[in-house]
Amino acid sequence: MEPTKIRNVVLVGHSGAGKTSLAEALLFTSGATTRLGRVEDGNTVLDYEPEEISRQGSVGLAVAPIAWNGHKLNIIDTPGYADFIGDVRSALRAADLALFVVSATDGVEVQTEAVWHLAEQEGIARAFFINKLDRERADYKAVLAQLKSTFGTGVAPLEMPIGSEADLRGVAGIVSNHAFLYENGAGKGEEVDVPDEVKADVDEVRNALVEAVVENDDELLEAYFEGQEPTRDQLVKGLRQGIAERAIFPVLCGSATGLIGIDRLAELIVRDGPSPLDRPMPPIAGDDEFTANPGGPLEAYVFKTLSDPYLGRISMFRLFSGTLKVDMVLENPREGASGKLHNLFFMKGKDHEDASEVSCGDIAAVAKLETVRSGDTLRAPGSDVVIEPVAVPSPNMSLAVEPKTTHDEEKLSTSLARTVEEDPTLSVERRAETNQTVLSGMGDTHLEVALAKMSRRFGVEVVTAVPRVPYRETIRASAEAEGKHKKQSGGRGQFGVAFVRFEPLSDGEGYEFVNAVKGGSIPRQLIPAVDKGIQEALARGLQAGYPVVGIRATVYDGKYHNVDSDELSFRMAGIQALRAAAGKLNPVMLEPIVKIRIMAPERYMGDIIGDLNAKRGRVGGMDSFGQQRVVTAEVPMGEVQQYTIDLRSMTGGRGSFTLEFSHYEEMPPQEAQRVIAARAEE
């Protein structure tokens, strides 16, 4: 397939807008499937995971190709839920056109706006499909007005619906000045003259389209001012150029489940959609002048990895340059290793079709490259080009996980590692301070789905909890104490005495041990044992069992016995010294403070700031980002462990945030007492 005959289209938008239904309608109308898959029936090609079928919604991206008028369209279906934004970012890198699916009943929703900015950053062309026009309360004109007010004058409607709600019968083309009626349920429209009922609307919208097109062409604009209307061919050419230059964003309409307007959408993608050679190259390291070239060096970008029970690891990639043939050797620069591509195929949901060759610009997959991850470049050996990976959003919600049975501990570790490799927006860490394994992701639904997949694939059942906050302790006073360990049980005994001075460090962090022993009251070789004992005691805490930081321990005297003194004796002496001094050191609790950056529409800022104040947060500033407001604050970590849920509730899902550890600071006494009491109860 020539690159000019390939179209890579990613379906994006808010959850429930009908992206998967639209993809299934394209598959059916093109003849790629013999039945129309329906999300509510759980029989779609693209939502095939059990978690997707049970939730009736996408939780990961999926790809399926269709053939249309001698072209190949790779349809990439993506989740609409904010928790799975990582897959959307990856899919945008693989696509040439982002098709925003918008519900005619709900209009522009939060994910539509969020993904618009991501597509803008990726630099790819954009278009709209107003879906569900056959539903009750569908309002094409209201949604179109909302699109224009939200995304600007480049929004250009190419169609008007004929009929409304249950009486939706077809669509009228603005450029063609013809209508298409759908009465056979096969998804192919019958071309007729524009009905009188919509002629006035078509003429009005056509004027707006003409203005949008001529604004991007100086010659057409000059002629237009002189009263000369562009011809249909000039309109089509100007429209195609405006789409490729990301200046015009066409709007089509119809019903995915009613198979209305689907063939017109495919026609637009083929006729006016950008080919892989029209797409701006993603950020490249190693060669600033690198361009897509069918005869150039092989350069592929892995945008998704997943596990298959039969094929093992599958790496889905977009070939940006060169022509790839089976058994070719490609290099993974991140690993510094090369591998032969034996198992090459095209994906169609969960199914696949073997491939012997992949054209420049096409999307394909390869199996059994075990070291390859999402975001990797696969390139010809000797090349120095690296396609920079998409920016992965930082996880903002965490769960402590542990196996239900000790028998599954090793299996849990392996399954967590495999799960995180498949989804870069997940992370896992072992927190020594709290003795917990913590899985972090983009929200509660994201984590719930990840654990469900892990249980199904690896047979691991886990118990989850909100992670413990890694509090710390420190001291505010100095004290000296004798640490004495003496034990006699017949035969050789144990004896060690250490005099230790404890004092706070000025920076309030770390630990410092000073040897100030004179005259050999403690043998030099036994002094490290005192240090070790003190560190053991500090790790156990002074009040609530949390590690003590910001302390200097100076051992300045001691006693030993020629026979009974050993390392164990002086390690115990160090422990006893801290215990003896504890009551005089004025210990206090420290809590971790995080820097939070919240982005949301201005109308929610009052509620957000009020909530931050209630969480003991300190607002540092407020700024603007496009149509959004951004507030930064410092807030105790323990107050925002479930902030994903809180912010979603306050903003209706229109807010987002990032967290970054800042520092530790002393807790208010009443909060400290609460933590101490809770730890004692544990």
Residue 573 has pLDDT above 80, yes or no: yes
**Class of domain 473-585 (CATH, top level):** alpha beta
The confidence score (pLDDT) of residue 311 equals 81
Residue 617 has pLDDT above 80, yes or no: yes
Residue 490 has pLDDT above 90, yes or no: no
Average pLDDT over residues 285-296: 82
Indicate the range of 205-219, 347-361, 375-389, 413-427 predicted with least confidence.
205-219
The confidence score (pLDDT) of residue 232 equals 83
Instruction: Please name the amino acid found at residue 366.
Output: V
Residues 544-559 pLDDT 10s: 889 999 999 999 999 9
The rounded distance, in Å, linking the Cα atoms of 27 and 266 is 10
Q: Name residues whose C-beta falls within 8 Å of residue 359's C-beta, 6 or more positions apart in sequence.
A: 1, 2, 3, 6, 294, 319, 323
Q: Are 293 and 320 spatial neighbours (Cβ–Cβ below 8 Å)?
A: no
Q: Does domain 590-681 have CATH number 3.30.70.240?
A: yes
Residues 170-190 pLDDT 10s: 999 988 889 999 987 667 888
Place of tokens 């490609």: 330
The rounded distance, in Å, linking the Cα atoms of 469 and 433 is 9
The confidence score (pLDDT) of residue 434 equals 83
Residues 388-417 pLDDT 10s: 999 888 888 899 999 888 778 888 888 898
Domains of the chain: which residue ranges? 3-272, 284-387, 399-465, 473-585, 590-681
Question: Residue 168: exposed, middle, or buried by beta-carbon count in 10 A (0-12, 13-18, 19+)?
Answer: buried
Q: Are 18 and 30 spatial neighbours (Cβ–Cβ below 8 Å)?
A: no
Instruction: Please name the amino acid found at residue 587.
Output: P
Where b means 16+ CB within 10 Å and e means fewer, 129-162 reads bbbbbbbeebbbeebbebbbeebeebbbbbbbbb
Q: Helix crossing, 409-422 with 444-458: angle to 10°? A: 120
The whole-angstrom distance between residue 361's C-alpha and the CA centroid of its chain comes to 25
Where b means 16+ CB within 10 Å and e means fewer, 92-128 reads bbbbbbbbbbbbbbbbbbbbbbbbbebbeebebbbbb
Indicate the range of 241-255, 346-360, 392-406 predicted with least confidence.
392-406
As given in the structure block, the two tokens for residue 380 are 């010809």
- Residue 252: name the closest of 336, 155, 186, 320 by CA: 155
CATH number of 399-465: 3.30.70.870
Residue 530 has pLDDT above 80, yes or no: yes
Residue 227 has pLDDT above 90, yes or no: no
How many helical (H) and strand (E) elements, i.e. helices and strands, does the chain have? Answer: 16, 36
On the question of a common fold for 399-465 and 590-681, the answer reads yes
The DSSP code sequence of 162-199 is ES-GGG--EEEETTT-EEEE--SSSS-PEEEEPPHHHH
Backbone torsion region of residue 459, taken as left when φ is above 0, otherwise alpha when ψ lies between -120 and 50, otherwise beta: left
How many CB atoms within 10 Å of residue 207? 12
User: Strand order in 249-253's β-sheet?
Assistant: 62-68, 71-77, 6-12, 97-103, 125-131, 249-253, 155-157
The rounded distance, in Å, linking the Cα atoms of 673 and 75 is 57
Place of tokens 């930064």: 632
- Residue 157: name the closest of 132, 177, 175, 139 by CA: 175
The stretches of 19-80 forming alpha helices (DSSP H) are 19-30, 50-55
As given in the structure block, the two tokens for residue 44 are 């779609």
- Give me the architecture of the 284-387 domain, per CATH: Beta Barrel (2.40)
Residue 581 has pLDDT above 80, yes or no: yes
Which DSSP state fits 30?
H
Average pLDDT over residues 12-19: 92
As given in the structure block, the two tokens for residue 141 are 């004109």
Q: What are phi and psi of 518, to 5 degrees?
A: -115, 150
The confidence score (pLDDT) of residue 537 equals 96
Q: Name residues whose C-beta falls within 8 Å of residue 671's C-beta, 6 or more positions apart in sequence.
A: 589, 591, 616
Residues 358-384 pLDDT 10s: 999 999 999 988 889 999 999 999 888
290, 305, 60, 358 alpha-carbon torsion, rounded to 10°: 50
Q: How confident is the model at residue 273 (pLDDT cuts 50, 70, 90)?
A: very high
Residues 70-99 pLDDT 10s: 999 999 999 998 889 999 999 999 999 999
CATH number of 3-272: 3.40.50.300
The stretches of 44-130 forming alpha helices (DSSP H) are 50-55, 85-94, 110-122
- Residue 125: name the closest of 249, 263, 220 by CA: 249
User: How do strand 178-181 and strand 170-173 relate by DSSP bridges?
Assistant: antiparallel
The whole-angstrom distance between residue 49's C-alpha and the CA centroid of its chain comes to 19
- Residue 259: name the closest of 189, 325, 332 by CA: 189
The rounded distance, in Å, linking the Cα atoms of 419 and 416 is 5
Which DSSP state fits 490?
S
Mean of all residue pLDDT scores within the chain: 90
Average pLDDT over residues 301-310: 88
Note the maximum CA span of the chain: 114
Indicate the range of 257-261, 274-278, 489-493 predicted with least confidence.
489-493
Q: How confident is the model at residue 626 (pLDDT cuts 50, 70, 90)?
A: low
**Rg, Å, the chain Cα set:** 32
Q: What percent of the chain has pLDDT over 90?
A: 63
